[in-house]
Structure 1
Amino acid sequence: MKHLYETVAETVIAHIEQGVYNPGEKLPGVRKLSRQLHVSIATALEAYRLLEDAGRIQARPRSGYYVSGFRPQAMVEPEMSDAPVVPAKVTGQSLTRQILRAAKDPYQINLGSSVPHADFLPAHALLQATGKVSRSYGKRCFDADELLGNQELRRQIAKRMVELQCADSPEDIVVTHGAREAVRLALMAVCEPGDLIAIESPTFYGLLQVIESCGMEALEIPTHPRDGLSLDALQMAIEQWPIKACLIVSNYNNPLGSCMSDERKQALVELLERHEIPLIEDDVYGDLGFGLRRPAVCKAWSRQGQVLYCNSFAKTLSPGLRVGWLVPGRYMARVENLKYMKHQAVPTLNQLIVAHMLEQGGYDRYLRHVRQEYARNIALTVKAVSQYFPEGTRVTQPEGGFALWVELPNGVDAMELHRRASRENVIIAPGPLFSATQRKYGNFIRLSCAVPWNDRLENALSRLGSMVADVVAGRL
């Protein structure tokens, strides 16, 4: 059921979209808005807070609310991928590791990593939480906790799962070393080495590395930059190939930024459950949406417990804490057995810090701020691409996350562009890394927008665009 404040927020957005209020312009005060729309002051205030969380407006102390000045510039987006639906072994991941090592150089401008820059992390809040947890728990911070996870952290995660319409108890949750361990445990619980996993195409190379480490094969399914995985293509693949599991990032996929609608998520779950195929849902970017509401998760529509839900705080709170979780549904016994046999508990202190941030509201306060920062960076980077890259360039315009998928004009070799850019201390992620065989997306690159915007970064994008233009013009 839609709340009244959500209706008010949608009315304000409609006014912004219609040009009644332009970027940077002051909006009516809370009292004036309540009179205009015949709602209470509390409802008007809640609507503005919702819009602020979504990055559509900004609050200025002792001044009021203003329309955000940064919105993505309209550009043509890439079309749906046309990946051949043929099983393939995951290969070439050593190249991925080489590029990731190069990205650690502090002198490089790192547009190629999917890890947020330290400036985007709530360092001060985490340090405060560390001090409070240390004083409260003392020696217990350094003791080994339950292998399945600290009980208080699992309880806080269960509360968030309830908000996502998933009735999971703390006992249904397994705390993991980030999302990758969660995905690995999920794959090992439902598949065997040599099994075939349906994945989005393009997909995050980290997931490809997990599939490779498990000795499994990938089946790339065409994926749309906005709508996500093609359900028609998946249906045909199920009829043709012995798919044992489907692995997707349902919200703000990396690298596309796609977000499946509620209807498509429900249809995906129903399709897979009809064929008794487990769905492994990676939702690491779900909390980083720019819209009024957090997108739903596929797990909310599962009736048979076949969705294994994976998430992590690595893309939000801190990649260094390495705290993730898995809700394995009906596969809990298998996951628990795998965890005891092959994996270790997450450090207790790290779990207690995250639990404190969740319980005291620090996590949600941080999200309200960082969503606006990522929305701003996405808009600025799209604008720079439109300004500095040659005609024929296409770029996604995601509504969450911090990745941009850029299609370069035909004839531009993304791998060669990566090598040239590296020599000028600019790191990008070339498109072939996002395919199982690294033979697709030869003229695509992914740009990370989790890098502080400054003149040096804009200059790097300008130089990158010049390199692309030189290739198109035949000067390189």
Structure 2
Amino acid sequence: MGKVILYSAIANGIAQQISSGVLQAGDRLPSVRTLCREHGISMNTAKRVFLELEAQSLVESKPQSGYFVRRLSYLRLPLSSPSRPSPVAGNEAPADIITSVYENMGREDLTLFSIGVPSGALLPLARLKKEILQATRKLEAGGTAYEPLQGNLQLRRMIAARSRVWGGHLQESDLVTTGGGMNALSFCLMAVSKPGDTVAIESPCYPGILQLATSLGLQVLELPTHPATGIDIAALRKSLPRINLCLLIPNFNTPLGSCMPDEHKKEVVALLSAHNIPLIEDDIYGDLYFGDQRPKCCKSFDETGNVLWCSAVSKTLAPGYRVGWVAPGRFKEQVLKLKLVHSISATSLVHEAVAGFLGSGRYEHHLRRLRRTLYENYQHYLQAIARYFPEGTKTSRPRGGLTLWVEFDQAIDTTVLYELAMKQHISIAPGRMFTLQNQFQHCMRLCIGLPWSDELERKLKQLGNLAAMLSAT
């Protein structure tokens, strides 16, 4: 507790200097080593100080130069609150609102702030069409035949090669391809659990994971989660006697966008491995970082095969292609048996096409452009929220990913806001969707994967006006 108070106190002191104007936009801050020396703290504690300030969009890191006061600091939007779910597993699924929101997918008459995927306008559609044509020529029988059970060999090679960036060092034999990210998570959950088991997750959490877990008869224990650093490890440790498995999105999770520090990932992996509790890691947003370096994965620290690492191109390249994969570690045979029973083969044609795109080198170029656009969108959203939303509105400070978490005053029910917004052809994702407990009614998730425009800003202004109206009633 002492370290937490210390790093928070130091971060708050610097934040006050920025808000009072003592530190101006562009000013260089003391280095990590200087902070250690001045306050008598460890390197990890000093790094957490800057992590907290980055989470509040007050400072930014410049390679080989240090930390500087951001030019967005004038926004001074408060950071979203850490979640405090009940320590009792919940089962109050908000099925009606989830169904209503996801029925809006594909509707061109709506501004879809609610669906967490990049717009087609941000994707390399022409190149993907060419890859499909090339795949029909390359594959046996034009792609109509089944592929091997473990999946497209070239795709697995490309994924394995890319894993070296985050310290995965995977081989193609370590991977199994699936029909999208949710398919991978489904196989993993079935492989390591049985009905009645308890799974620990972040809170708030992606609705699809909540629905999948409950459909498999699992109890869901939601863990307290910080909008910058992810789950509360002390709460996870306390829950160990009651859980059978853990499912986390450590890198830029939805809806908070939090990113667990490397030391937290390492600690979580060691903790769960020591208690023989499998960890399913959903790394679907890991490539969408805003900074200079892709974050490591929990799988980076896995020495026992206890981590089942899942990902897909659904959030980066082609949501509708349904191309996913898993490195199941010591659970590989169980996952392969489940794939044989439930799907036999993935869609050969699109998996070959994605393998070709990854192998061409164009994926990295596309990712650089997409990350830059998402970061610019994030800044635009923050400015619009600061300008048009009710006073006291809080937001998350994601350092990557596709979403922004917005927290209003308790008086604003975002399910009611959703209904009002729909009348103005705006779809949002109310906070109640992201939990099985009675919480987050005053929160919402916004997708930042839409091309920024004057029209998009106008829609955010309309949304802010509706929220202000609810606040006044």
Question: Smaller-chain TM-score range?
Answer: 0.7 to 0.9
Task: Give 1:419-458 correspondences, 5 Å limit.
Answer: 419-437=419-437, 439-458=438-457
Tell me, yes or no, if the aligned pair for 2:152 and 2:351 is still in contact at 8 Å. Answer: yes
Offset at residue 457 of structure 1 (A): 1.3
Tell me, yes or no, if the aligned pair for 2:117 and 2:402 is still in contact at 8 Å. Answer: no
Q: 2:412: which partner in 1? A: 412
Q: Does 1:402 align with 2:402?
A: yes
Q: Distance in 2 between matches of 1:167 and 1:208?
A: 31
Q: Distance in 2 between matches of 1:458 and 1:253?
A: 25
Unaligned runs of 5+ in 1: 1-15, 21-53, 58-67
Per-residue CA distance 1:83-117 (angstroms, 9 max, x = gap): 11111236233431221103432111111111221
Q: 1:459: which partner in 2? A: 458
Per-residue CA distance 1:192-212 (angstroms, 9 max, x = gap): 012100000001111112112
Change over 3 Å in CA distance of 1:225–1:316 after alignment to 2: same
Tell me, yes or no, if the aligned pair for 1:71 and 1:376 is still in contact at 8 Å. Answer: no
Offset at residue 459 of structure 1 (A): 1.0
Tell me, yes or no, if the aligned pair for 2:93 and 2:435 is still in contact at 8 Å. Answer: no
Task: Give 1:90-101 correspondences, 5 Å limit.
Answer: 91-101=93-103
Offset at residue 429 of structure 1 (A): 0.3
Per-residue CA distance 1:247-285 (angstroms, 9 max, x = gap): 010100100000001101001111111211110000000
Q: 1:49: which partner in 2? A: none
Per-residue CA distance 1:58-89 (angstroms, 9 max, x = gap): xxxxxxxxxx9989944211121111111123
Change over 3 Å in CA distance of 1:469–1:17 after alignment to 2: closer
Q: 2:173: which partner in 1? A: 171
Offset at residue 139 of structure 1 (A): 2.8
Change over 3 Å in CA distance of 1:101–1:327 after alignment to 2: same
Q: Does 1:225 align with 2:236?
A: no
Offset at residue 55 of structure 1 (A): 12
Change over 3 Å in CA distance of 1:442–1:90 after alignment to 2: closer
Task: Give 1:104-183 correspondences, 5 Å limit.
Answer: 104-137=106-139, 139-183=141-185
Q: 1:349: which partner in 2? A: 349
Q: 1:337: which partner in 2? A: 337
Tell me, yes or no, if the aligned pair for 1:55 and 1:375 is still in contact at 8 Å. Answer: no
Q: 2:290: which partner in 1? A: 290
Is the deviation greater in 455-464 or in 182-191?
Answer: 455-464
Offset at residue 137 of structure 1 (A): 3.6
Per-residue CA distance 1:262-311 (angstroms, 9 max, x = gap): 10100111111121111000000000001111000001111111100000
Q: Distance in 1 between matches of 2:351 and 2:145?
A: 12
Aligned length: 413
TM-score of the superposed pair, with normalisation by structure 2: 0.83
Whichever residue aligns with residue 411 of structure 1, its letter is A
Task: Give 1:184-199 correspondences, 5 Å limit.
Answer: 184-199=186-201
Offset at residue 158 of structure 1 (A): 1.2
Whichever residue aligns with residue 388 of structure 2, its letter is Y
Q: Distance in 2 between matches of 1:229 and 1:454?
A: 35
Tell me, yes or no, if the aligned pair for 1:115 and 1:450 is still in contact at 8 Å. Answer: yes
Offset at residue 334 of structure 1 (A): 0.8
Tell me, yes or no, if the aligned pair for 2:393 and 2:409 is still in contact at 8 Å. Answer: yes
Q: Distance in 2 between matches of 1:195 and 1:87?
A: 11
Q: 2:375: which partner in 1? A: 375
Q: Does 1:79 align with 2:81?
A: yes
Partner SS state of residue 258, structure 1: coil
Tell me, yes or no, if the aligned pair for 1:89 and 1:216 is still in contact at 8 Å. Answer: no
Change over 3 Å in CA distance of 1:421–1:347 after alignment to 2: same
Per-residue CA distance 1:227-248 (angstroms, 9 max, x = gap): 0011011111124x2x011101
Whichever residue aligns with residue 166 of structure 1, its letter is G
Q: Does 1:18 align with 2:26?
A: yes
Q: Distance in 2 between matches of 1:381 and 1:451?
A: 11
Tell me, yes or no, if the aligned pair for 1:193 and 1:215 is still in contact at 8 Å. Answer: yes
Offset at residue 56 of structure 1 (A): 8.4
Q: Distance in 2 between matches of 1:275 and 1:410?
A: 39
Offset at residue 410 of structure 1 (A): 2.1
Tell me, yes or no, if the aligned pair for 1:55 and 1:372 is still in contact at 8 Å. Answer: no
Partner SS state of residue 286, structure 1: coil
Whichever residue aligns with residue 150 of structure 1, its letter is N
Change over 3 Å in CA distance of 1:70–1:135 after alignment to 2: farther
Change over 3 Å in CA distance of 1:458–1:56 after alignment to 2: farther
Tell me, yes or no, if the aligned pair for 1:103 and 1:427 is still in contact at 8 Å. Answer: no
Whichever residue aligns with residue 271 of structure 2, its letter is L
Q: Distance in 2 between matches of 1:442 and 1:338?
A: 37
Offset at residue 133 of structure 1 (A): 2.8
Partner SS state of residue 210, structure 1: helix
Is the deviation greater in 414-423 or in 450-459?
Answer: 450-459
Q: Distance in 1 between matches of 2:249 and 2:25?
A: 29
Whichever residue aligns with residue 18 of structure 1, its letter is G
Tell me, yes or no, if the aligned pair for 1:72 and 1:380 is still in contact at 8 Å. Answer: no
Q: Distance in 2 between matches of 1:133 and 1:17?
A: 51
Tell me, yes or no, if the aligned pair for 1:398 and 1:404 is still in contact at 8 Å. Answer: yes
Q: Distance in 2 between matches of 1:431 and 1:401?
A: 18
Per-residue CA distance 1:172-217 (angstroms, 9 max, x = gap): 1110011101111111111001210000000111111211221211
Q: Distance in 2 between matches of 1:17 and 1:284?
A: 34
Is the deviation greater in 111-120 or in 191-200?
Answer: 111-120
Whichever residue aligns with residue 285 of structure 1, its letter is Y
Partner SS state of residue 418, structure 1: helix
Tell me, yes or no, if the aligned pair for 1:90 and 1:211 is still in contact at 8 Å. Answer: no
Unaligned runs of 5+ in 2: 1-23, 29-59, 64-69
Partner SS state of residue 436, structure 2: coil
Q: Distance in 2 between matches of 1:318 and 1:71?
A: 35
Whichever residue aligns with residue 466 of structure 2, its letter is M
